[in-house]
């Protein structure tokens, strides 16, 4: 492809519901040899670099979900296209408290990705933490602080779409029928973003810690 002068671009896509489901985290966590883990990370970085520096334009035709490693593969392309109404691009490393390598974060800041938009599901942007189910309070607090810091220091602008979604072409905010509550930790997650958009007639942002004296 590289030596074929008639080739004007590279388009990648996935199969069925997934553009890429990312890395097999269960397999990675089962590896006891650190060399194998580091080898995998090194190969992933090489893949990002090769796509980013490909000599012809690259397009990620995102046919479905792109999670974790798959999301970074999509961001390595020069351009990305996907449906507005279906499919997710997300980093499950954040939910699983997996540290993202600084070299990978630099990849995000150096691509054409101009911002990160987060939103919730159904009636909640985020219902906060489950204090009843949390046994190790200190670990929980540390993970929350780490998450808030990572959002606040994200290398590109961040937007919390509390009860709606952004329309990229027109840069407008489309309201949804869900209420979009953000309670407790969820409220602090919202405040960690650079920008926040929300309906004026529905949804609450509140710190329930005040009510229950936490």
- Closest listed residue to residue 102, CA positions, set 150, 157, 166, 52: 150
Residue 95: how many other CB atoms lie within 10 Å? 10
Query: What is the structure's pLDDT at 170?
Result: 47
In the chain, what is the straight-line distance between the N-terminal and C-terminal CA atoms, in Å? 61
Residues 6+ apart with CB under 8 A from 64: 14, 16, 17, 18, 19, 86, 87
pTM assigned to the model: 0.53
Q: Which residues of the chain have pLDDT under 50?
A: 166, 168-171, 173, 176-177
pLDDT digit string, tens, across residues 92-143: 776 666 777 777 767 666 655 667 788 877 777 887 766 555 566 777 788 8
- Calpha distance 162→196 (Å, rounded): 7
Measured distance CA(64)–CA(12) in Å, rounded: 12
List where CATH 3.90.226.10 sits in the chain: 1-113, 116-214
CATH hierarchy code of domain 1-113: 3.90.226.10
Out of 3.40.1450.10, 3.90.226.10, 3.40.50.300, 3.30.530.20, select the CATH number for domain 116-214: 3.90.226.10
């Amino acid at each position: 492809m590289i030596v074929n002068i008639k080739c004007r671009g590279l388009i990648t896509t996935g199969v069925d519901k997934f553009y890429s489901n990312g890395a097999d985290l269960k397999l990675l966590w089962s590896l006891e040899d650190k060399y194998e883990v580091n080898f995998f990370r090194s190969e992933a970085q090489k893949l990002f670099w090769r796509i980013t520096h490909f000599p012809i334009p690259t397009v990620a035709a995102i046919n479905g979900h792109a999670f974790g490693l798959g999301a970074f593969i999509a961001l390595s392309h020069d351009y990305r296209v996907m449906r507005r109404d279906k499919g997710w691009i997300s980093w499950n490393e954040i939910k699983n408290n997996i540290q993202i390598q600084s070299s990978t974060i630099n990849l995000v800041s150096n691509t054409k990705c101009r911002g990160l938009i987060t939103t919730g599901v159904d009636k909640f942007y985020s219902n906060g933490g489950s204090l009843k189910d949390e046994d190790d309070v200190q670990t929980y607090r540390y993970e929350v602080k780490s998450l808030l810091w990572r959002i606040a220091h994200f290398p590109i602008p961040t937007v919390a779409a509390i009860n709606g979604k952004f329309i990229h072409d027109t840069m407008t905010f489309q309201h949804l029928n869900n209420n979009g509550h953000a309670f407790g930790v969820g409220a602090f997650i919202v405040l960690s973003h650079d920008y926040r958009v929300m309906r004026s007639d529905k949804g609450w942002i509140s710190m329930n810690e005040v009510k229950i004296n936490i």
